[in-house]
Amino acid sequence: AAGVIQSPRHLIKEKRETATLKCYPIPRHDTVYWYQQGPGQDPQFLISFYEKMQSDKGSIPDRFSAQQFSDYHSELNMSSLELGDSALYFCASSRGLAGGSSYNEQFFGPGTRLTVL
C-alpha cells in the first residue's frame, strides 16, 4: 500500500540558511500534519492543513511557514535556521471530516532529519 512520502530524508544546512521539506500524502488523503521531534523528545505538533486551508496551528515558529497545494502535497518552509531547529520532521496524512474513526487515523511518513550546523 502507498505510504506518506517525505523528501528529502536527510538535510544539512548552515545557520541562517533556508530549508524546504516536502510531504506527499497517501492518495485520497486530504489532511496533512507536520510534527517536529527533537533529539530524545516526543513529537510536537506544528501545523495542519485540510483541503488546502490551514486547519490547526501549534508551536510553529514565525520563521516557518507551510502550505498545501492543489494536489494535496505540502511543503514546510524554514528560514533563518537556528541550531535548535535540528530535529526529525514528520509529516502525517489522514482523510479528514469523514464519519468513522478509521477515516481519521494519521499515517506517518519516515521523516526528514534536518541538521543545522
Partner 1 sequence: GNSVTQMEGPVTLSEEAFLTINCTYTATGYPSLFWYVQYPGEGLQLLLKATKADDKGSNKGFEATYRKETTSFHLEKGSVQVSDSAVYFCALKRGGGSNYKLTFGKGTLLTVNP
In the complex, which residues of this chain contact partner 1 (CB under 8 A)?
31, 33, 35, 41-45, 48, 50, 55-56, 58, 90, 92, 94-98, 101, 103-111
Closest contact distance (angstroms) between CB of 86 and partner 1 is: 16
Closest contact distance (angstroms) between CB of 111 and partner 1 is: 5
Closest contact distance (angstroms) between CB of 70 and partner 1 is: 18
- Nearer of residues 12 and 17 to partner 1, judged by Cβ: 12
Residue type, 66: A
Burial 31-44 (b: 16+ CB within 10 A, else e): bbbbbbeeeeeebe
Closest contact distance (angstroms) between CB of 32 and partner 1 is: 9
Residue 102: Cβ within 10 Å count: 8
Beta strands in 52-98 (DSSP E): 53-57, 64-68, 74-78, 87-94
Q: Determine the 3-state secondary structure of 109 from DSSP.
A: coil
- Nearer of residues 48 and 74 to partner 1, judged by Cβ: 48
